[in-house]
Chain A
Amino acid sequence: MSPSNWTWFHRLASPPYFYRLAGRLAPWFGWAAALGLAAGLYGGLWLAPADYQQGDGFRIIYIHVPSAYLSMMCYMLVAGASAIGLVWRMKLAHAVAVAAAPLGASFTFLALITGSLWGKPMWGTYWVWDARLTSELILLFLYLGFIALHQAYEDPRSGERAGAVLALVGVVNVPIIHYSVVWWSSLHQGSTVFVGSKSDISASMLIPLLTMIAAFTCYFAACLLKRIQAEILEREQNAGWVREMLEQT
């Protein structure tokens, strides 16, 4: 493969280029998220019929499912960016991981809160030691460990690389943790009844759900790009291009 095929990759790694690219893309994702949220919430809260067993309580899935999905996808993003940062020594990749981790932790927290709010009317209790809830809780701990380690270093360069090692160790462990928790909860209790399995969900409920997932992803992308911009500015505060940009505005 000729080296020129990789120029886009190297250009992406240049902080000024990525800063401008992120600044251009973020509003598009932001508006897409706003429109998607409005359409998805209207579809989910008004158009979709109440579930015949769960009543209106099921509607929390329009927040819960996108949060849970993003909480896991974001950890993959953190780990992927960490690997790129460690292997190619690309500082921008570390900035992505550092910027994404608090977002991932927030979505994990949101998924846990909405899950337990749904659990109260459905299971009769706020917390069940269900395999999925438990793995989600441990995922939150993994995020918090990453953030705590990164912040504990006085030198941010070492901190982000130490965090990257932890994220990689974590991502190897995530499937093991998940399956061990599944095994553990199947030993402890009979499988929890999940009313209304995914496969036979009706289109009037499914379309708003997919809209919400897409909208949440756009929202996540917009927030992430803005956070990366802030990270870049903080790292490059003494660089010439930042000064030039400030003088122009």
Chain B
Amino acid sequence: MRALAALVRRDLRLCFRRPGEVATPVLFFVMVAVLFPLGLSPQPELLAMVAPGVLWVAALLAGLIGQESLFKSDYEDGSLEQLLLGPAALELVVLTRIFTHWLTTGLPLVILSPFLGLMLDYPVQAFGTLVLSLMLGTLILSLLGAVGAALTVGLRQSGMLLPILVLPLAVPVLIFGAQGAAQAARGEDAAAALYLLGALLVLGVTLVPFAVAGALRISLES
């Protein structure tokens, strides 16, 4: 437990010393969301209709951009091998790392989403559902992205490969999340979508650490 707490402290400290890494996915998220009104049309009715989908697709892409750095620097300086040899179970280390990484890449997107919602004429009374759906969704995406990051950590073209591996797997998250946000915007009950997202999150937390740990062992062998 102490090793894991030390790991969280170390990761957070590393992150705050390199604020650029935190800012990149957030900036990407804002820019993608801004491109849609420019590319489509600034009519409020149209924007309100596409807003849930736009916010969700933008969050999905921005989340994946952030995932590439999950194990990269540790792989390059060799501390990933130390973690693998260390006393704590690799599965737990992985889960801790994913959560810390989410705090610095996923959570900022969630916090920022209502402001972008305002710019896209997303109804204010549905902000709660939007934030909750993105909170659950970005956590699942962090877990899925971690599988991709672990599989590609030793590869040169990992930046392009990671989205190709993870995006098809992220389809259910996008569907449930965007549907929930859209239902809330129409004033309907979005509980079903949120429950399904919650179920996916539970499934991810249960299974993903094993896949990531296995993938890291393969990546470090080569």
Q: Which residues of B contact A1 (CB under 8 A)?
A: none
0/1 string, B139-178, CB within 8 A of A gives 1: 0000000010001101101000100110111011001100
Q: Interface segment, A34-42, A177-185, A190-198, A200-208?
A: A177-185
0/1 string, B69-106, CB within 8 A of A gives 1: 00000000000000000000000000000000000000
Within 8 A of B (CB), among A158-200: 158, 161-162, 165-166, 168-170, 172-173, 176-177, 180-181, 183-184, 187
> For the complex, would chain B's binding face be called helix, strand, loop or mixed by DSSP majority?
helix
CA distance A59 to B157 in the complex (A): 44
- Whether A165 and B151, one on each chain, are in contact in the complex, defined by CB atoms closer than 8 angstroms, is yes
Q: Which residues of A contact B214 (CB under 8 A)?
A: 86, 165
Q: Which residues of A contact B154 (CB under 8 A)?
A: 158
| B131 is an interface residue with CB less than 8 A from chain A | no
Distance in Å: Cβ of B173 to nearest Cβ of chain A: 8
0/1 string, A115-157, CB within 8 A of B gives 1: 0000000000000000000000010011011001100111101
Q: Which residues of B contact A168 (CB under 8 A)?
A: 211
Distance in Å: Cβ of B54 to nearest Cβ of chain A: 17
- Whether B218 and A165, one on each chain, are in contact in the complex, defined by CB atoms closer than 8 angstroms, is yes
CA distance A144 to B207 in the complex (A): 23
CA distance A173 to B196 in the complex (A): 14
- Whether B211 and A181, one on each chain, are in contact in the complex, defined by CB atoms closer than 8 angstroms, is no
- Whether B169 and A162, one on each chain, are in contact in the complex, defined by CB atoms closer than 8 angstroms, is no
Distance in Å: Cβ of B60 to nearest Cβ of chain A: 14
Closest residue on chain A to residue B218 by CB atoms = A161
Closest residue on chain A to residue B168 by CB atoms = A141
- Whether A170 and B169, one on each chain, are in contact in the complex, defined by CB atoms closer than 8 angstroms, is yes
| B22 is an interface residue with CB less than 8 A from chain A | no
Given contacts A158-B219, A173-B169, A181-B171, contact A148 B161 (CB under 8 A): yes
Distance in Å: Cβ of A165 to nearest Cβ of chain B: 5
Q: Which residues of B contact A145 (CB under 8 A)?
A: 164-165, 168
Q: Which residues of A contact B200 (CB under 8 A)?
A: 176
| B109 is an interface residue with CB less than 8 A from chain A | no
Distance in Å: Cβ of A137 to nearest Cβ of chain B: 9
Within 8 A of A (CB), among B204-222: 207, 211, 214-215, 218-219, 221-222
Distance in Å: Cβ of A18 to nearest Cβ of chain B: 24
CA distance A184 to B172 in the complex (A): 9
Given contacts A153-B222, A165-B214, A165-B218, contact A180 B151 (CB under 8 A): no
Q: Which residues of A contact B172 (CB under 8 A)?
A: 173, 176-177, 180
Q: Which residues of A contact B129 (CB under 8 A)?
A: none
CA distance A138 to B174 in the complex (A): 13
- Whether B151 and A149, one on each chain, are in contact in the complex, defined by CB atoms closer than 8 angstroms, is yes
Contact of B168 among A157, A161, A177 (CB under 8 A): A177
- Whether B215 and A153, one on each chain, are in contact in the complex, defined by CB atoms closer than 8 angstroms, is no
Most buried by A among B167, B168, B214, B219: B168
Most buried by A among B161, B169, B176, B222: B169
- Whether A166 and B147, one on each chain, are in contact in the complex, defined by CB atoms closer than 8 angstroms, is yes
Distance in Å: Cβ of B70 to nearest Cβ of chain A: 16
Most buried by B among A138, A168, A169: A169
- Whether A172 and B207, one on each chain, are in contact in the complex, defined by CB atoms closer than 8 angstroms, is yes
Q: Which residues of B contact A176 (CB under 8 A)?
A: 172, 200
- Whether A165 and B179, one on each chain, are in contact in the complex, defined by CB atoms closer than 8 angstroms, is no
CA distance A139 to B96 in the complex (A): 31
CA distance A162 to B171 in the complex (A): 21
- Whether B169 and A169, one on each chain, are in contact in the complex, defined by CB atoms closer than 8 angstroms, is yes
- Whether A149 and B152, one on each chain, are in contact in the complex, defined by CB atoms closer than 8 angstroms, is yes
- Whether B222 and A187, one on each chain, are in contact in the complex, defined by CB atoms closer than 8 angstroms, is no
- Whether B169 and A152, one on each chain, are in contact in the complex, defined by CB atoms closer than 8 angstroms, is no
Q: 6 nearest interchain CB pairs?
A: A158-B222, A180-B172, A141-B168, A145-B165, A184-B175, A180-B175
Q: Give me the interface of B with A, judged by CB distance under 8 Å.
A: 147, 151-152, 154-155, 157, 161, 164-165, 167-169, 171-172, 175-176, 179, 196, 200, 207, 211, 214-215, 218-219, 221-222
